[in-house]
Amino acid sequence: MALVHRATVDPSKQELVEAWLPTRPWARGLEITKKLAEYRFDDPAGEVGVETIVFATGDGTSVQVPLTYRAVPLEGADDFLVGTSEHSVLGARWVYDGCGDPVWAATLAAAILTGGSQAQMYLEEDGGRIDIPPRMTVQGSGTPGAEVPVITAVDSVRDDGATTVVRAGDVELVVARVVGAGIEADETLSGEIGSANAVLAGLRRTS
């Protein structure tokens, strides 16, 4: 489950992404106009926030931006730093492109291979829990209980047109940066926003 705080974030996630997006080859010429939806996965260690946000752009397409939120910098990941922000509850946060973060890679691989879905988001208020209805749902194509490789590092990241390919141990993860981009994979993560459904990511076994 993903605890959501009633908090201010400065700069906001959208402001960080707006400044970072022009540096990405897959986003050349695209400008985001608003956030459409998001989905989260749980870090088993409870240390890293893992969220993917889908933004609408001015030309009618949608872009998918995986992000991780950390209380301290991720060593060796300067190339993937989107920016830093101040969270009114959690304090300073280092925000990374998830494709360069092994915790994101591990949670995505687990969701895909085990047929998992997004974490339930909730607020804590007056000693109780208030569930937040999801604005989108995702589902892995795998099987519950399937073996999931241990991922402790990201070996390489390369952009391939409108997708990004992440090599992590014995798997490659392919992310549709532009929603609707074609993905060839052994297993997939599909998402539904409103009435639209698309393959958002895939996993290929390399050994």
Task: Tell me the pLDDT tens digit for each residue of 155-174.
Answer: 999 999 999 999 999 999 99
SS (H, E, C) 82-110: EEEEEECCCEEEEEEEHHHCHHHHHHHHH
Residue 5 has pLDDT above 50, yes or no: yes
Burial class (CB within 10 angstroms; exposed 0-12, middle 13-18, buried 19+) of 90: middle
pTM for the whole structure: 0.93
- The single-letter code of the amino acid at 138 is V
Residues contacting residue 78 through CB under 8 Å, at least 6 positions apart:
none
Contact 189, 197 (CB under 8 A): no
pLDDT band of residue 1 (cuts 50, 70, 90) is very low
Q: Is the pLDDT of residue 143 over 70?
A: yes
Please report where in the chains the tokens 């909730």 appear, as a residue: 122
Strand ranges across the sheet with 187-193: 137-140, 187-193, 196-205, 171-176, 163-168, 156-160
Spatial separation of the C-alpha atoms in residues 21 and 70, rounded to whole Å: 20
Q: What is the pLDDT of residues 60-74, one digit of tens each?
A: 899 999 999 999 999
**Phi and psi at residue 37, in whole multiples of 5°?**
-170, 175
The Cα–Cα gap between 33 and 53 comes to 13
